[in-house]
Structure 1
């Protein structure tokens, strides 16, 4: 039960009536005692009524007064913060499929773990959210346009394929374009539904080299912030990851592919989003669980009078039942 705000606070004046009834009851009880002592012979009173009423005689009245107190609060319309599922929102899941995602520092590989967690993320989002999927390496592609069909997204996640290079900026621009397309299709006079990009990557942008390039990650993050689309970035992997790369001559070389936390954190900061790290499937799942809570629900002010109303009715009813049980009459 909450007392954080009221929609009709003038009803709180009813509590003064309850206070008045308490005062009146106390005064009536004291007046009755004075009258008894004034007009009754004490010796005769002891013989006629040797068993004086106990304190339980006040219980029915006390219960009813407390019930009226709760009912008065209910009439004032208390409100509280309530978490409700979003019915309109767009989320673009952007997944890095560069060759570094083949590293086995996360079992069985970074990509396989990302696929598993991504499907769980899709299943965990509230039904009203439109979820889309973008995969990126040297270029970015929309694999699934925003939709409430989770099976389409999960099927596309299963089909992710590795490729060379990492174009983080292109991935963000592509996700924003998909969000804009959905908003244009929905049309109407209402404002576009809230949107967010969830970007999972393990490495530094390589295309273009400079993240401040017009098509770079930092530039894209600034544009996302201007559009009110926060980017939640997830740095996935460890500092000791490696992959085996085969060159054109057929020679295999082991290359270190440590995660690049600073650039992904900067993208999140520039866009007004949140930055996360994960180095295992379990940690990645926990990150997605957190994002599901942030994205799938919104906090609104709602009516909280029902608990007070129920308590008031129960206390008043208990007062009547107690009165009939103890005194065979209503106070």
Structure 2
């Protein structure tokens, strides 16, 4: 089954069925009349059985063509992916010291910058894109704007700092989205919004992610505001950084990032290389940059129906020397 914009056009199918039934009725009458007055042996020698069967093909093809044209008139609908002309996306990138680990070449932060810039390049033009970085605190580097180049410029200037306050990054993103929505006329008429959070480690400020300013609390707030948080766990389990001469292990923390996504209604992704990270961003760009809407899908039906009707006409002329 499929959706139809104007299904009442299907009533024409009754006429098509009537036309087919009328043709069968006329053929039977014609056959019965021939049986009464014709010499069957002579008739079969003049008009072979094979030719008698073929002469019915054009009308059958025409009837199928008329059915397809009738469906086209009814306006069949199909899902179509079209670029969004309005939406808000906030990139939230972890700039804690652990992002300096080189388990991802050339380093986690350098790879993150490259992938984020490509994401900004590929994102649909009508989407407002913003950028927030966070370490011990969150900083709004770019407020949501359709000028994606502003985000690319800011990404190049990211600087590493101490600590990891994931919750502050999410809260800052929520605030930016709400501020933009207020400018656009309030939350009811606001375009869809999404947060894309990229991090490699566990939150260190505060100690408990369920703290009022913690990551899990922020994720619940995002859920309340209907703003999904898609999280990207970036790095490997063997990552480490050099801090004041000591080699400190900084494995990725998939568990907490997965829970943030789950609590907010978003999706969780992992990436352990630049290529994988780029693929994740490509997936997000397809999800965020496009929306699925019902649209007219009558063209294939119209083309097929027209072709069959034309073939029926050609076949009728070729076989019967007349139109069906």
TM-score by length of 2: 0.94
SS at structure 1 position matched to 2:295: strand
CA 1:39–1:280 in structure 2 vs 1: closer, same or farther (change >3 Å)?
Answer: same
What do the CA deviations read for 1:168-216 (whole angstroms, capped 9, x no partner)?
Answer: 1111111111111211222379611110000000011111111111111
Shift of 1:310: 2.0
Unaligned runs of 5+ in 1: 247-251
Q: 1:238 aligned to 2:236? A: yes
Aligned match for 1:56, one of 48, 54, 57 = 54
TM-score by length of 1: 0.92
Q: Tell me, yes or no, if structure 1 residue 12 matches structure 2 residue 5.
A: no
Q: State the match for 2:88 in structure 1.
A: 90
Q: Structure 1 residues 261 and 44 mapped into 2: Cα distance closer, same or farther (>3 Å)? A: closer
Distance 1:291 1:304 in 2: 27
Quote the residue 1:187 is aligned against: 185
Task: Give the alignment of 1:1-331 within 5 angstroms.
Answer: 3-42=1-40, 44-45=42-43, 49=46, 53-187=51-185, 191-246=189-244, 252-331=245-324
| Cα offset, 1:55, TM superposition | 2.8
Aligned-pair CA distance for 1:12: 2.4
Cα distance in 2, alignment partners of residues 190 and 315 from structure 1: 49
Q: Tell me the residue number matched to 1:249.
A: none
Q: Tell me how far 1:325 sits from its aligned partner.
A: 3.2
What is the root-mean-square deviation of aligned Cα atoms in Å?
1.8
Deviations 1:99-142 (A, max 9, x none): 00010111111111111111111122111111111111111111
Cα shift at 1:69: 0.6
How far did residue 51 of structure 1 move? 5.2
SS of residue in 1 equivalent to 2:246? strand
Could you list the runs of 5+ residues in structure 2 that have no partner in the other structure? Answer: none
| Cα deviation, residue 244, structure 1 | 0.1
Q: What is the number of residues matched between the two proteins?
A: 323
Separation (CA, whole Å) in 1 of partners of 2:174 and 2:283? 22
- Residue by residue, what CA displacement relative to the aligned partner does 1:136-158 show, whole Å, maximum 9, x if unpaired? 11111111111121211111111
